[in-house]
Structure 1
């Protein structure tokens, strides 16, 4: 079990909407290691602009595992998706995702798929959108398999996309894609909005899950608002999950304070549930 924090690589434009620690990696990694985090999840946009060896060395210097590389900004900052009606946009989304898979493989990490999957739209039928997604997921999974990379499909609230919102829908897509390295990840913020009962949903679909995002119900750091993280984390432990718990939160009131608030709330809980 690892407690991790999301970190934006320098190729990602600095913005208030970014849910990650931002700035030079030496500072980000150093700050998070000093706070007691075990690892990081990287948010990246264009890995070709990064010095991969430097990223790896900086993480190792700070004794941080890189557990996952997320693809969110391919959609967030570039607007690309696998199900866009424009074929050239779909191809660019897949090409950039493959580059992120290469980067993740070099770091010994996995990747996720969030909003880059796209959404239902008027130009395509639901069946056409789903078929485009399945083909993209299969192509990326086959590409990633040779590089020992797992792909975690993230269910996302209807407020951000109308495609694959619940764990039931996510599990159905995983079954349809039918690739051993294509699974689900559970983001507690989204589960709180889309599932009737967070813990019941975790139990029902735990066999699909390979990664966890933590945020309170206002997308700020855990312990800031109303979710019962002791109950939630205990449920993951009960289901046999022993992977990474990574924050994906707004950096409010600041990166430093959000990271400090999150670790101060989560570390004692994780120690009680999993043992020190």
Structure 2
């Protein structure tokens, strides 16, 4: 098991400074989801060449099904550049949130097609096109289910499987313990059902603070991941209570203990 942190959470004015801070605390990877995505790709690659910290993931976009066709076209171009960056860095994959919002934004075309169905079909169409390019580049695209208060389309692992099972093998899913704690009746059982498609994991506690500061029992879910042979990243994505460095150091130790005990 390896530990990663989102770039926006990581102290430092530049990518090399952020990587140095992560190395000092003992992190293995960083999720490129912030300002580094705006840098020239060669500058990003050079930063990683001088650090033992790896690129865990590359962030995607959430506007593939925007109402505005120009926004959709820009989103597709951005995803293509992220796929290229991911391939050059050897990251796990490109993280993709299908949409934000509790209701569809596309028009309702009943009786031909409802708004939610229209968005699902449009997302599947866009994702299929990107998956072909990702497959050729040797890159995985993985979907992140969000809880019902943040999204409506993909809120449980099984919803992500509906897309992963119907598209190219390079389309996978991730498991987020904070969202699963809200949406899944049995986190461990849901992980077992989706295990072959899970390529990345997010961790935050029940209150969205750092792991160890809430009441979420991580061990059953960790056990299910270990049973499936998962040995990848646990990406910390949360708010942080307490002195930042100390709080994250304690949380990292907590996660390692929970993983070992699972």
The match for 1:158 is: 148
Instruction: Give the secondary structure class of the aligned counterpart of 1:183.
Output: strand
CA distance in structure 2 between the aligned counterparts of 1:88 and 1:26, rounded to whole angstroms: 34
Aligned length: 253
The match for 1:127 is: 117
CA distance in structure 2 between the aligned counterparts of 1:95 and 1:256, rounded to whole angstroms: 37
Residues 59 and 229 of structure 1, relative CA distance in 2, 3 Å threshold = farther
CA contact (8 A) 2:100 2:151 kept: no
The match for 2:3 is: 3
- The alignment status of 1:100 with 2:82, answered yes or no, reads yes
- The alignment status of 1:144 with 2:139, answered yes or no, reads no
The match for 1:70 is: 59
CA positional deviation for 1:53: 3.4
Residues 122 and 104 of structure 1, relative CA distance in 2, 3 Å threshold = closer
CA positional deviation for 1:173: 1.8
Structure number with higher relative contact order (C-alpha < 8 Å, ≥ 6 residues apart): 1
Residues 136 and 117 of structure 1, relative CA distance in 2, 3 Å threshold = farther
Residues 148 and 261 of structure 1, relative CA distance in 2, 3 Å threshold = same
Instruction: Give the secondary structure class of the aligned counterpart of 1:216.
Output: coil
CA positional deviation for 1:179: 0.6
CA positional deviation for 1:120: 1.9
Partner residue of 2:94 out of 111, 116, 124: 111
The match for 1:84 is: 66
Instruction: Give the secondary structure class of the aligned counterpart of 2:5.
Output: strand
The match for 1:269 is: 258
- The alignment status of 1:237 with 2:226, answered yes or no, reads yes
CA positional deviation for 1:111: 0.6
Partner residue of 1:182 out of 171, 193, 217: 171
Instruction: Give the secondary structure class of the aligned counterpart of 1:55.
Output: helix
Residues 45 and 202 of structure 1, relative CA distance in 2, 3 Å threshold = same
CA RMSD of aligned residues (A): 2.2
Decide which moves more: 195-204 or 82-91: 82-91
- The alignment status of 1:170 with 2:160, answered yes or no, reads yes
Q: Give the gaps of 5 or more residues in structure 1.
A: 9-19, 76-80
Residue deviations 1:164-217 (CA, integer Å, cap 9, x gap) = 1111211112223x2110011111111111110111111111122111111111
CA distance in structure 1 between the aligned counterparts of 2:118 and 2:29, rounded to whole angstroms: 39
The match for 1:57 is: 46
Q: Give the gaps of 5 or more residues in structure 2.
A: 109-114
CA distance in structure 1 between the aligned counterparts of 2:48 and 2:240, rounded to whole angstroms: 21
Partner residue of 1:44 out of 34, 47, 51: 34
Residues 59 and 172 of structure 1, relative CA distance in 2, 3 Å threshold = same
Decide which moves more: 118-127 or 32-41: 118-127
Normalised by the length of structure 2, the TM-score is 0.87
